[in-house]
Chains A and B, each alone.
Chain A
Amino acid sequence: MIDRHSLFVSAGIHLCALILILLPWSFTKNEWEISKPIPVRIVSIGALTQSPSPISKKEFNRFKEITTTEKPKSTTAPIPEKTFKDIKKRASKVAVKIKSTKQEAQEKIPVAASTPTAPQKKQDMPTQSVQTQKEAAFQSVLKSLQHNIENTSINKSTDPHAFEADNISDHLSISELDALRQQIQECWYVQQSIWEDHQIVVEAIVEIDPERKVSNITIKNPPMGFNRAAFQAAADSVKQALRAPECTPLALPPDKYHQWKKAKFIFSPKGVW
């Protein structure tokens, strides 16, 4: 026979642990990517959706010009099939759960008799919710594409929360972090006159696609009054390092995409001289 008292105590401890873990999660801006990784590719927007394109024609044409140039074939190792199936399975389970929860919620909404369109709404709910999901997912693709077009100048801070990255580096092992560090440090050409004279630290939020290529770099602005020319030069050297062919793809574990897709890199060559 199980002691009821100890059962309640155990349940209480587990519940507290769960709350402590989940509570900070609820305040983060992160969203769990439930759809499979979306390859960055040019598609004709009009063929897939009737919604107005968020990108202007000029930007779209320019982006098309940039991305339709021949790129070297990707040598990235594909995500292992087993792992990919696991992710897909889990994702689909949760998607179904959310979908069914929404359906239930919609069924409970009282429908006014005076609105003749109410029954239609009720029937269209499931398809609309799927369509809304698709559209939202596609909009996020377009946003990421748009982000690639925009200039990554240090003057622009596109996202006010761009630098609210969690300072957590314990989701990758030490050897994985070291491998990444070694790789990028080989590509990072340091100019002593910039870094030593001005004591510069460059912080960059780097977005990485599933093929482990850097898709976007946002550099944090330096403090006011900082030598702008020196910082610009330092930031350029960082961007070159991250986009160097020798450092593409990045030495990151393919099966941990969700853990490294957005990273904060800090460049401060104090140990060089």
Chain B
Amino acid sequence: METDADRLAMIKSLGGVLASVRGNGIWGIFDNGNIDVLSMVESAGPSLNCRSSDVALVFMTKDDEMEINGEQYRVKKMDPDGTGMTMVHLKK
């Protein structure tokens, strides 16, 4: 069974970045790629895929400021996947 430590190792092995939120650093996989919404519109959607435990540890909430690679983002939405990881949708 995958542990939280396994998830952290996986994030780092996949090129994860250290994001800063509420003065804390959390590891996650950052994606600034385009996504489709409304089944038709392709638009830029930055996101950070990180451990759910880290999200809880830093008390992350909507509109929190996050710094990734020197860029500033705001938390738009958090989607836990039920397996220990959370997709944090961001906006600039």
Q: Do A and B truly interact?
A: no
Binding site for A on B (CB under 8 A): none
List chain A positions with a Cβ less than 8 A from chain B: none
